[in-house]
Chain A
Amino acid sequence: MSSASPTPTEGTAPTEGTAPAEGTAPAEGTAPAEGTAPAEGTAPAEGTAPAAGVTPAAGTVPAGETAGGTRRRRRGPRTWLAALPLVAFTGLCFGLPLGALLYGAVTRTDPGTGATALTGEHLSRSLQGPYLGSLLGSVQLSALTALIASVLGVLIAQAVVTSRSQALRNAVLTASGVLANFGGVPLAFAFIATVGISGVVTQLADLSSLGWNLYSFTGLAVVYLYFLIPLMVLVILPALDGLRPQWREAAQNAGAGGWQYWRHVGIPVLAPSLLGGFVLLFGSAFAAHATAAALVGGSVPLVTLKIADALSGNVLVGQENVALALGLDMILIAGLVMAVHLPLQRRSARWLR
C-alpha cells in the first residue's frame, strides 16, 4: 500500500515544522474540496482509507495538506491544466473524425438542394447484400482464428510454464513480444515467399497439387494465426502462472484426478483470462486490414477491404456514406468486444497477484 507511508505525516509535527505556511485549520478547511471529506481529520478513518483501496485519493490527501491551505488553492487549477492538452487533443483529433463518421453514416445530403436529412438507409444498406457478406466474412474469419489461436496459445504457454525453464520462458516471451508486433505488410510478404504460388515451401513440398491456396479464406486464417498465437501467449502466460501448485496438491489430496482438477479448479480460475484473451484476439483479427490488403486484395470478402474499396472510390456515386456506415458497424462490434474484454480482465486480475 503506497498510501501507508504518507499517512503518519498526516497532521503530525514534522510536517508542520517543514511547512511554515501550514496552518492546520485552513488545511482542514480545504479538505472537503478533496472529495474525501469523511476520511479527513479523524485519524481512525484515515487509517481505514488504504484498506478501502482508495490508494490514489488517500495518497494525494497529505500532498495537498502539506502544500498548505493557500498554496493548495493555487495549485488546484494548475493540476487540471496539465491534463487539458490531452483532453483538447483527443477531442479534436479523435472526437471530430468520429463525429464526422457518425454524422455521415446517418444523414443524407441531397446533391441538388444541399439539404441534409436524417436517414437510416446507409446503415440498412451496409447490412445487405455484398456488404453484409463482407461483415459476416470478417466475423467468421476472426472468430475461427481467435478460437484456434486461443487453444494453441494456451498449449504453448502451458508447455512453457510446466517446463520450469527460465531460459525457454524468456525466449518464448521475447519472441512473442516481437511476433505479436510482426503484423501487417511484412507478414504478408513473408508468407508469400513461403507458401505463395512460387514460395519456397510450396516448391519443395509441391503444395499446389494438394490444393493449397494462400490467397483464400484458409490461407488468410493461417497467416493471421502467426500474430494471434503470440498475442495469446502474452495474455495467458501470467494467468497460468497464477495457478498455484498448492491448489493442485490440495485437489490431489482430496482425491481429485487430473481431469477433475482442471474441470473444477483450473478452468474456472482461468475462464476470465481465457475468454478475455479470446475476445482480444477476435478484436485484433477483426480490425486487421493491411495483411489482408497486401495478401488477397479483395478475393476474400472482408469488411476492412470493402471500406478501403469504397474510400478509394471503387463504388457507385453516392455510396461513400455506406463506407461510413460500415465503419460505424465495425466500431459497434469492436465496442461490444471491448465491453466484454475489460470486465473480464479486471476479474482475472484477482488471481494474478
Chain B
Amino acid sequence: MAAMTPTAREAAPEHGKEPSPPAPPATPVRPRPRVWRGVVLGLGGAYFLIPLIASFVFTVHTPGQGISFEAYTALLAADGFTESLLLSLGLAAATIALALLLAVPALVAVRIGAPRLRPVVEVMCMLPLVVPPIALVTGISTVLRWGPDHLSRTPLYQTFLAVQNESFPFVLVLAYTVMALPFVYRSLDAGLRAVDVPTLVEAARNCGANWPYVMFRVILPNLRSSLAGAAFLTLALVLGEFTIASLLGFQPFAVWIVSISGAHARMSVAVSLLSLVITWLLLLVLSRAGTAPTGTPGTPRSARTSRTSPKES
C-alpha cells in the first residue's frame, strides 16, 4: 500500500503559477468550497461522536437518580470480569507469539533464499480472508466432533480434550492464529519490502555473524514497527472476538460482555467504551513505537495506511 508521501501536494500549489501561455482558465475562479467541506466533516464528526458521548452519558446518568460512576467502580468486583479479561489477554499473547513464530521465519526465508516459495506463502496467509469466521467455526466444530465419534480409543482423543480445556482453550489460539495470519502477513511484508534483507544478511554473514545473531540483531530490529503493527492488529482481533468463542462455548471477554448485558446493561456499555479507549491508547503507543529511531534509514513508517483491520463484527 502507499506510504503517504505528501510530495505531490507540496509541489502542487506552485506548479500552476509558472508563466503559462496566456490562456485564461475556462472556468472563472470559484471560491474554495469551504461550506461543502465543513458540512461533510461536521456531519461525519457528529455521527461518530454522538454514540460515544451518549454511551458515556448512559453509563453515568440514570434518569431521575442523577449521576453515579457505579458502572465503572463495580466492574472489578463484577462476577467473571477479571477471569474473562485475563483469559482474553492470555489468548492474545499466545496468538501473537504463535503467529509471529510461524510467519517471520517463513517470510524472511522467502526473501533470502526461496523466492519461488513466495506465492505459496502469500496464498497460505491470505486465504483465511476468504473464509468468514462463522464458516471457519462450523468447520472447527465439525472436526472437534470427530473426537468423541471416531477417535475415542486413540491417543489423539486426549489431545482433543486438552485443546478444549475450559481454563485455557488452546483451540481458540489455533483459530485466532489462522484469522490473524492475513494481517500479520501484510504488516510484515510491508516492513520487509522497505528493508534490503539479502544485502543486510550478506553483510552480517561476511562480518562473521551466525544465523541467530543475524535474525535477532539485524533483521528483527529493522522490522520493529511492522512487528508492533502485527501485534496490535492481532490483539485487537482477539480482544473483540465473539463469534468463534461463543459458538465453541468458551467465555473470553467479548462473550462475557454479552452474558452480563441482560442483568447489567450499564456495565456492558461501560466495558464497551473502555475497550474502545484501550484500543485507542494501543494505537497511540504503536505509532510512537513505529517512529522510534532504529538506526537504519528507510525503516518503514509502519504500514498504517493499510491497516484495514481484522474486525470481529
| Interface, chain A (partner B; CB < 8 A) | 2, 5-6, 18-19, 35, 56-57, 59-60, 62-64, 66-67, 75-76, 78-80, 82-83, 85-87, 89-90, 93-94, 96-101, 104, 152, 155-156, 158-164, 166, 168, 173-175, 177-187, 189-195, 199-201, 203, 224-227, 229-231, 234-235, 237-238, 241-242, 244-246, 249, 252-253, 255-258, 280, 283-284, 286-291, 293-294, 304, 307-308, 311-312, 323-324, 327-328, 330-331, 334-335, 338, 349, 352-353
Is B67 interfacial (CB 8 A cutoff)?
A: no
Contact between B313 and A291 (Cβ–Cβ < 8 Å)?
A: yes
Q: How far is the CB of B143 from chain A (nearest CB, A)?
A: 5
Contact between A82 and B109 (Cβ–Cβ < 8 Å)?
A: yes
Contact between B242 and A290 (Cβ–Cβ < 8 Å)?
A: yes
Measured between alpha carbons, how far is A349 from B190 in the docked complex, in Å?
A: 14
Residues on the B chain within 8 Å of A152, using CB: 44
Instruction: Identify 30 residue pairs between A and B in the complex whose beta-carbon atoms are under 8 Å apart, listed by A's number.
Output: A56-B110, A66-B206, A79-B109, A82-B109, A86-B102, A94-B131, A98-B131, A156-B40, A175-B48, A181-B310, A182-B276, A183-B313, A184-B312, A185-B254, A190-B51, A195-B51, A199-B58, A226-B48, A229-B44, A234-B306, A234-B308, A241-B2, A242-B8, A245-B9, A253-B23, A257-B26, A290-B243, A294-B242, A327-B138, A352-B1
Is B65 interfacial (CB 8 A cutoff)?
A: no
Q: How far is the CB of B1 from chain A (nearest CB, A)?
A: 6
Chain B residues 132 to 150 lying within 8 A of chain A, measured CB to CB, are: 132-143, 146
Contact between B132 and A330 (Cβ–Cβ < 8 Å)?
A: yes
Contact between B114 and A189 (Cβ–Cβ < 8 Å)?
A: no
Contact between B101 and A79 (Cβ–Cβ < 8 Å)?
A: no
Contact between B26 and A256 (Cβ–Cβ < 8 Å)?
A: yes
Contact between B258 and A288 (Cβ–Cβ < 8 Å)?
A: no
**Residue A83 contacts which of B48, B109, B132 (CB distance < 8 angstroms)?**
B109
* Total B residues in contact with A, Cβ cutoff 8 Å: 120
Is B161 interfacial (CB 8 A cutoff)?
A: no
Contact between B177 and A288 (Cβ–Cβ < 8 Å)?
A: no
Measured between alpha carbons, how far is A289 from B149 in the docked complex, in Å?
A: 29
Contact between B114 and A237 (Cβ–Cβ < 8 Å)?
A: no
Residues on the B chain within 8 Å of A183, using CB: 240, 311-313
Residues on the B chain within 8 Å of A177, using CB: 283, 304, 307, 309
Contact between A156 and B41 (Cβ–Cβ < 8 Å)?
A: yes
Contact between A290 and B312 (Cβ–Cβ < 8 Å)?
A: yes
Decide yes or no: A86 and B106 within 8 Å by CB, A63-B112, A101-B139 being known contacts. Answer: yes
Contact between B273 and A338 (Cβ–Cβ < 8 Å)?
A: no
Is B209 interfacial (CB 8 A cutoff)?
A: no
Q: How far is the CB of A70 from chain B (nearest CB, A)?
A: 15
Contact between A193 and B269 (Cβ–Cβ < 8 Å)?
A: yes
Residues on the A chain within 8 Å of B284, using CB: 174
Nearest 7 interchain pairs by C-beta: A183-B313, A97-B139, A79-B113, A186-B272, A287-B132, A245-B12, A82-B109
Q: How far is the CB of B41 from chain A (nearest CB, A)?
A: 5
Is B151 interfacial (CB 8 A cutoff)?
A: no
Residues on the A chain within 8 Å of B142, using CB: 97, 100-101, 104, 324
Measured between alpha carbons, how far is A115 from B54 in the docked complex, in Å?
A: 58
Decide yes or no: A85 and B130 within 8 Å by CB, A182-B276, A185-B258, A324-B138 being known contacts. Answer: no
Contact between B269 and A192 (Cβ–Cβ < 8 Å)?
A: yes
Q: How far is the CB of A171 from chain B (nearest CB, A)?
A: 10
Give per-residue flags for B266-293: 1 if the beta carbon is below 8 A from chain A beta carbons, else 0: 0011011101100110011001000000
Is B52 interfacial (CB 8 A cutoff)?
A: yes
Q: How far is the CB of B33 from chain A (nearest CB, A)?
A: 8
Contact between B101 and A85 (Cβ–Cβ < 8 Å)?
A: yes
Measured between alpha carbons, how far is A96 from B124 in the docked complex, in Å?
A: 13
Chain B residues 116 to 133 lying within 8 A of chain A, measured CB to CB, are: 116-118, 120-121, 124-125, 127-133
Identity of the chain B residue whose Cβ is nearest the Cβ of A5 in the assembled complex: B199
**Residue A85 contacts which of B48, B105, B134 (CB distance < 8 angstroms)?**
B105
Contact between A83 and B196 (Cβ–Cβ < 8 Å)?
A: no
Q: How far is the CB of B101 from chain A (nearest CB, A)?
A: 7
Residues on the A chain within 8 Å of B130, using CB: 331, 334-335, 338
Is B181 interfacial (CB 8 A cutoff)?
A: yes
Name, among B26, B106, B138, B265, the residue most crowded by chain A CB atoms within 10 Å (CB to CB): B138
Q: How far is the CB of A240 from chain B (nearest CB, A)?
A: 10
Measured between alpha carbons, how far is A82 from B63 in the docked complex, in Å?
A: 61
Residues on the A chain within 8 Å of B105, using CB: 82-83, 85-86
Contact between A231 and B308 (Cβ–Cβ < 8 Å)?
A: yes
**Residue A159 contacts which of B41, B127, B254 (CB distance < 8 angstroms)?**
B41
Residues on the B chain within 8 Å of A5, using CB: 196, 199
**Residue B202 contacts which of A6, A80, A98, A352 (CB distance < 8 angstroms)?**
A6
Is B198 interfacial (CB 8 A cutoff)?
A: yes
Contact between A193 and B48 (Cβ–Cβ < 8 Å)?
A: no
Identity of the chain B residue whose Cβ is nearest the Cβ of A170 in the assembled complex: B287
Contact between B240 and A194 (Cβ–Cβ < 8 Å)?
A: no
Contact between B240 and A186 (Cβ–Cβ < 8 Å)?
A: yes
Name, among A86, A238, A286, A338, the residue most crowded by chain B CB atoms within 10 Å (CB to CB): A86
Chain B residues 227 to 278 lying within 8 A of chain A, measured CB to CB, are: 236, 240-243, 246-247, 254, 257-258, 261, 265, 268-269, 271-273, 275-276
Decide yes or no: A59 and B198 within 8 Å by CB, A80-B117, A334-B132 being known contacts. Answer: yes
